[in-house]
Amino acid sequence: MPADPQNEPPCGPRHVAIIMDGNGRWAEARGRPRLYGHHAGARRVREVVEACPGLGIKYLTIFAFSTENWKRTQVEVAGLMSLFKRYIIKETRTLAQNGIRVRFIGDRVRLDAKLIELMDTLERETANNDLVHLTVALNYGGRDEVARATKRLARDVAAGNLRPEDVDEETLPRYLDTRVLPDPDLVIRTSGEARISNFLLWQSAYSEYEFIDTLWPDFTAAELERLCKSFGSRERRFGAVPA
């Protein structure tokens, strides 16, 4: 008996991760300050999140601020931190009501107390949601994440909770910021740059990549749908040879 198409799992990606690049160039092309582009990019996030359920995307991870972004001007960094606070305050109710669960990954030590409080509140307010799992990488770097995970693992070894000979490639993921998430199926980078910029280094070992020219504030749900359909046509072998 043929399978019911309505009951078949989606052939598109279940977990999409996005490097949201190009906000500053988008603004500069319009003769506006870079922060104008970041505000436009923040508005774009809502459209993408809302599109996820219809595309079969259960997990969405977005790169909001890297450990290297502190090198930008003080004006831009301060503006971004203010934008994060305003975005959380504005969107908490909508995200909670729309079934979106929000998590933050990255090192919070350098963030100010008010922002951390807002992040904690948003995570708590959405903890019971399950429609889409939105993960925001804030003060995040892949190498930094692995270093912090390794420290936690080393403490468990030193405490006698873990034997060194039992450590393998399945062990470290349990100490990563993303330990409760599946690895991304598809990683998208906007703005025409073809590099991964220290994003999800461990987790994306077998992810499919799409590097597109679109600047993030111009990225649409329609383009996300196109990329998901393209993903569905790929053969993912994970190092094996098809029989």
Q: Which residues are catalytic?
A: 21, 69
Q: How far apart are CA 55 and CA 204, in angstroms?
A: 21
7: its two tokens: 């009951």
SS3 letters for the chain? CCCCHHHCCCCCCCEEEEECCCHHHHHHCCCCCHHHHHHHHHHHHHHHHHHCHHHCCCEEEEEEEECCHHHCCHHHHHHHHHHHHHHHHHHHHHHHHCCEEEEEECCCCCCCHHHHHHHHHHHHHCCCCCCEEEEEEEEECHHHHHHHHHHHHHHHHHCCCCCHHHCCCCCHHHHCCCCCCCCCCEEEECCCCCCCCCCCCCCCCCCEEEECCCCHHHCCHHHHHHHHHHHHCCCCCCCCCCC
